[in-house]
A and B are shown apart, each in its own frame.
Chain A
């Protein structure tokens, strides 16, 4: 009898359930919201889109799957809109997914393979009907946005990452991140008329984020080696293509905030990430602590939405838990959070 009791207790334990999941949501009206690219994790094939509705504070996860009956792939790295199309750069799957910007139905999937080698696309930029895609194999691919075919490949540096356009030139950061610890230190400058690399300029070890300001200057973050070479933001004059200034903070990201930048940086004194306001006119860090980040566990991205004048921060929750989009007003006051997929990074806003 005692044995029966013991077995019964154990049976109860066997069928005890895990935590409840949030019920799936489907959002029909895609407006007043944000399309969020959740990168997922390497080798898990779990990159996905989430749509956050600001209208009714709902989130539809698995947005790509729900509309295309298939998965986005492994490690989505960039999300942008050009005309009536959305372009998603999927790094490990080595594809560019092109969607209709209204129906979100797939128009085309471009396979980014070079023979047996995956090109590993990283980011995308647009200029005069052409899409430029950095590929980790050392090239920028040029895609015609009408025919959706690859026109040409422009050779740049090692493991190109991000791009910015100013003065009819494309600035490409060559990180060399796959060659750690001997990383690249250059920015390739491509003439957008001839689509040829004009020169490579040295900006500092492991360049990553790059942004153009409204005054024709380019700001690039040389991330260093994550140990004894610190991360630094540099300014390139797009007229002379000279590196003119270095900013002292350990900056990791730059986001447009009206005509200025919100910069994310690591404060060694507090061992925390901060968001600061960078004035692009005076070229100074105007406010070192623009907003408190008490709600953020892992700052992974920041986007300003000019449509509703709010700031959205991607919180990656330690990179292994489903992430959040944290909403703040333009003064940096916390409003609310939206639970999205794993490792949310890029955001596309909808009116």
Chain B
């Protein structure tokens, strides 16, 4: 009995500790955390407890729980997964991990399937300009931002901590994660390593006209290793951090399920190396951060069955980047704050195919903004950002330099408990054409203009009075977006002559609702219910004469939703999680032959924790994914796994 009480206390304190960490992180102390916004509302993102109970394969499995996101998933562990927010397209989203942007100037998209989730302790998205002001400027000016924090790079004053995790699942899925972190009043240090692998040969039901057959996915194996070290010192109000992280990937590419042809031999290997460092000063009035990150991504792609002259393809891409900058905010008066920053990102691409371009890009960002409290209730935010891009292709014609200024304006009410909070904002942003879009052999077009996005949003949130046993949170956003100069590949002269062009435009009307609630039924029994729903009418308005005029854009579902219910009783818990997409279209023309069926996918996860002596905890978790065995594909011809299982054992110290 005594053990049970201690266990409950521990779990309780663990959860409360988590909450407090989120709520109190804004203090000007020597904790290392860049997220100042999340302190306003813990309901906005997904916290460590929720992340752990979701048991997602990767970051995509977490991000899809956020409102107004659509994930394009090609299936499988490590398979390509990208996120689009509010119908803008994946290249408008910037992923920030522990305060450092993840860059890919080759294709502009980050594969979320390659970002582990076992070490993530917080994740959130935001599209408004009132984002984390100490984040890289390149993220602050993007159309939307997803920021995640990992255990090993998030430092408080917890002293020594350990995490060890091992997992085993269907399709021979294996995973492990180990991290040690030490954070005192003067020093911080962490080391971590993780590993994932799977055969990926999952069964699926192939529907071919009126016939069905049982098939197995092939060439879908996956292995990756991540490891890293971070160290730093704390002095007064400053923290200096220096870290290195390396990721290695080796995977088969199963490709689309092609009727009558199951050959698949393509492979991809990746090595991603990162050296990063920053200095953060958090004073009473001023916060200042300087940061640098050096990244090299080496990717090798092979297809032994490609029918070219040399009997296959073996090609390597090396995408390198250096990003460095400063970001800060300053409280000038009680009612006026300014934020500012500048960043330079230099990136290039080296390709083993000598016919490819050799592009080098200098991308400069600057930002200046203010937040003015002009009455007891209202705030006004204004921001201007500048971007200058210089291109140099030493193996051919270079794209022209670009210079753009983008505004952000926001009117909001002060966050006050038990009052409706309102926020209305407008921002314009753009995304640069990628190296592939500008220079890829015959398809690339050096005359491409940036793809522009305009967003207008009204949102409200409300959290009624906290009752002793019940808490509720409501939020709604309504937005109208417009995308111009959308970059798409189109045939120009004939089917063989495709080219990237700025020819499309789209408008998006969207709204999303979120309801979060916590209910402590009695002493040991707790219910958490989270619901969200997003509507996105993303319409192609490029050409009134086109058959797809005003049709829903390919692969953006009109409806997406999440239902999450968790019940905790003492040190035992169960979570039911559901994710749904309405039907989508594989092409912009909204006709029945282009329909990709909608789906409901549910996960059931249970856990049991054993509290050992001296802050040691052992947690056993069993998860059934795709509980109701839905046969579905997010992208046509890329089938997703049927029902599968995962067992996780986790040890935590402190």
Contact check, B547 vs A43: say whether CB atoms are below 8 A apart.
no
**Tier of interface size on chain B:** 35 or more
A21 on the B face (CB < 8 A) = yes
Q: Beta-carbon contacts of A267-310 to B below 8 Å, as 1s and 0s?
A: 00000010000000000000000000000001010000000000
Which residues 555-596 in B have Cβ within 8 Å of A in the complex?
Answer: 558-559, 586-593
Give the interface centre of A45, A158, A227 by most chain B CB atoms within 10 Å.
A45
B524 on the A face (CB < 8 A) = no
* Chain A residues with CB under 8 A of B261: 73-74, 92-95, 113, 118
B546 on the A face (CB < 8 A) = yes
Contact check, B591 vs A178: say whether CB atoms are below 8 A apart.
no
Could you say which of A44, A111, A180, A342 contacts B442, with CB atoms under 8 Å apart?
A180
A242 → chain B, closest Cβ, in Å?
Answer: 26
Using A73-B258, A73-B259, A178-B308 as known contacts, say yes or no to A19 and B551 having CB atoms under 8 A apart. yes
| Chain B residue nearest in CB terms to A62 | B593
Contact check, B308 vs A44: say whether CB atoms are below 8 A apart.
no
Contact check, A71 vs B307: say whether CB atoms are below 8 A apart.
no
B295 on the A face (CB < 8 A) = no
Could you say which of A10, A74, A109, A320 contacts B587, with CB atoms under 8 Å apart?
A320
Contact check, B589 vs A321: say whether CB atoms are below 8 A apart.
yes
Stretch at the interface among B98-106, B205-213, B599-607: B205-213
* Chain A residues with CB under 8 A of B305: 116-118
Contact check, B593 vs A342: say whether CB atoms are below 8 A apart.
yes
Contact check, B307 vs A321: say whether CB atoms are below 8 A apart.
no
B457 → chain A, closest Cβ, in Å?
Answer: 16
Cα-based distance from A113 to B262 in the complex (angstroms):
10
* Chain A residues with CB under 8 A of B236: none
B510 → chain A, closest Cβ, in Å?
Answer: 10
Contact check, A226 vs B547: say whether CB atoms are below 8 A apart.
no
Which residues 171-192 in A have Cβ within 8 Å of B in the complex?
Answer: 176-182
Stretch at the interface among A29-37, A125-133, A232-240, A311-319: A311-319
Cα-based distance from A342 to B547 in the complex (angstroms):
12
* Chain A residues with CB under 8 A of B89: none
A252 on the B face (CB < 8 A) = yes
Contact check, B258 vs A43: say whether CB atoms are below 8 A apart.
yes
A62 → chain B, closest Cβ, in Å?
Answer: 8
Cα-based distance from A13 to B192 in the complex (angstroms):
48
Contact check, A69 vs B258: say whether CB atoms are below 8 A apart.
no
* Chain A residues with CB under 8 A of B522: none
A259 → chain B, closest Cβ, in Å?
Answer: 27
Cα-based distance from A137 to B305 in the complex (angstroms):
9
Contact check, A44 vs B637: say whether CB atoms are below 8 A apart.
yes
B334 → chain A, closest Cβ, in Å?
Answer: 35
Contact check, A71 vs B496: say whether CB atoms are below 8 A apart.
no
| Chain B residue nearest in CB terms to A120 | B307
Q: Beta-carbon contacts of B272-311 to A below 8 Å, as 1s and 0s?
A: 0000000000000000000000000000000001111100
* Chain B residues with CB under 8 A of A223: 496
Could you say which of B260, B511, B589 contacts A93, with CB atoms under 8 Å apart?
B260
| Chain B residue nearest in CB terms to A268 | B493
Cα-based distance from A262 to B132 in the complex (angstroms):
64
B424 → chain A, closest Cβ, in Å?
Answer: 16
Could you say which of A45, A70, A178, A273 contacts B306, with CB atoms under 8 Å apart?
A178
* Chain B residues with CB under 8 A of A298: 491
Which residues 473-495 in B have Cβ within 8 Å of A in the complex?
Answer: 490-491, 493-495
| Chain A residue nearest in CB terms to B583 | A18
Could you say which of A70, A113, A116, A322 contacts B593, with CB atoms under 8 Å apart?
A322
| Chain B residue nearest in CB terms to A61 | B593
B386 → chain A, closest Cβ, in Å?
Answer: 36
Q: Beta-carbon contacts of B495-508 to A below 8 Å, as 1s and 0s?
A: 11100000000000
Contact check, A65 vs B593: say whether CB atoms are below 8 A apart.
no
Cα-based distance from A332 to B577 in the complex (angstroms):
62
Contact check, B441 vs A321: say whether CB atoms are below 8 A apart.
no
Cα-based distance from A57 to B636 in the complex (angstroms):
32
Using A178-B307, A266-B494, A322-B547 as known contacts, say yes or no to A226 and B258 having CB atoms under 8 A apart. no
Cα-based distance from A298 to B491 in the complex (angstroms):
9
Cα-based distance from A137 to B311 in the complex (angstroms):
9
Using A13-B537, A318-B490 as known contacts, say yes or no to A65 and B308 having CB atoms under 8 A apart. no
Contact check, A19 vs B263: say whether CB atoms are below 8 A apart.
no
Cα-based distance from A163 to B363 in the complex (angstroms):
51
| Chain A residue nearest in CB terms to B537 | A13
Could you say which of B494, B537, B587, B590 contacts A19, with CB atoms under 8 Å apart?
B590
| Chain B residue nearest in CB terms to A227 | B442
| Binding site secondary structure of chain B | loop
Cα-based distance from A179 to B307 in the complex (angstroms):
8
B333 on the A face (CB < 8 A) = no
Using A18-B590, A41-B587, A116-B265 as known contacts, say yes or no to A316 and B495 having CB atoms under 8 A apart. yes
A136 on the B face (CB < 8 A) = yes
A14 on the B face (CB < 8 A) = yes
* Chain B residues with CB under 8 A of A179: 308-309
Which residues 1-53 in A have Cβ within 8 Å of B in the complex?
Answer: 10, 13-14, 18-19, 21, 41, 43-46
A344 on the B face (CB < 8 A) = no
B448 → chain A, closest Cβ, in Å?
Answer: 17
B535 on the A face (CB < 8 A) = yes
Number of A-B contacts (CB under 8 A): 135
A68 on the B face (CB < 8 A) = yes
Contact check, B307 vs A138: say whether CB atoms are below 8 A apart.
yes
A207 on the B face (CB < 8 A) = no
Contact check, B637 vs A43: say whether CB atoms are below 8 A apart.
yes
B93 on the A face (CB < 8 A) = no
Could you say which of A21, A70, A318 contacts B591, with CB atoms under 8 Å apart?
A21
* Chain A residues with CB under 8 A of B129: none
B552 on the A face (CB < 8 A) = yes
Cα-based distance from A320 to B260 in the complex (angstroms):
23
Contact check, A159 vs B307: say whether CB atoms are below 8 A apart.
yes
Contact check, A322 vs B589: say whether CB atoms are below 8 A apart.
yes
Q: Beta-carbon contacts of A96-138 to B below 8 Å, as 1s and 0s?
A: 0000000000000101010011101000000000000000111
Contact check, A320 vs B306: say whether CB atoms are below 8 A apart.
no
| Chain A residue nearest in CB terms to B595 | A18
Cα-based distance from A342 to B208 in the complex (angstroms):
18
* Chain A residues with CB under 8 A of B588: 320-321
* Chain A residues with CB under 8 A of B394: none
* Chain A residues with CB under 8 A of B441: 180-181
| Chain A residue nearest in CB terms to B207 | A71
Using A73-B259, A74-B259, A179-B309 as known contacts, say yes or no to A14 and B535 having CB atoms under 8 A apart. yes
Contact check, A321 vs B548: say whether CB atoms are below 8 A apart.
yes
Cα-based distance from A94 to B263 in the complex (angstroms):
10
B256 on the A face (CB < 8 A) = yes
Q: Beta-carbon contacts of B621-642 to A below 8 Å, as 1s and 0s?
A: 0000000000000001100000
Contact check, B208 vs A70: say whether CB atoms are below 8 A apart.
yes
Contact check, A136 vs B307: say whether CB atoms are below 8 A apart.
yes
Contact check, A45 vs B258: say whether CB atoms are below 8 A apart.
yes
Could you say which of B211, B256, B552, B587 contacts A70, with CB atoms under 8 Å apart?
B211
| Chain B residue nearest in CB terms to A175 | B496
Using A180-B441, A320-B588 as known contacts, say yes or no to A117 and B263 having CB atoms under 8 A apart. yes
Q: Beta-carbon contacts of A61-97 to B below 8 Å, as 1s and 0s?
A: 1000100111101100000000000000010111100
Cα-based distance from A61 to B591 in the complex (angstroms):
13
Give the interface centre of B442, B496, B559 by most chain A CB atoms within 10 Å.
B496
Could you jot down 29 A-B contacts, CB within 8 Å? A18-B551, A18-B590, A19-B591, A43-B636, A45-B256, A45-B259, A65-B209, A69-B210, A70-B209, A70-B210, A73-B259, A74-B261, A90-B260, A93-B260, A116-B305, A117-B305, A118-B305, A177-B496, A178-B307, A181-B355, A181-B442, A182-B309, A226-B496, A316-B495, A318-B490, A319-B491, A320-B588, A321-B587, A322-B593
Give 8 A-B pairs besides A69-B211, A226-B496 with Cβ atoms closer than 8 angstroms.
A14-B535, A93-B258, A94-B261, A178-B307, A179-B309, A181-B442, A320-B588, A342-B587
Mark A residues whose CB is within 8 Å of B.
Answer: 10, 13-14, 18-19, 21, 41, 43-46, 61, 65, 68-71, 73-74, 90, 92-95, 109, 111, 113, 116-118, 120, 136-138, 158-159, 176-182, 223, 225-227, 252, 266, 273, 298, 300, 316-322, 341-342
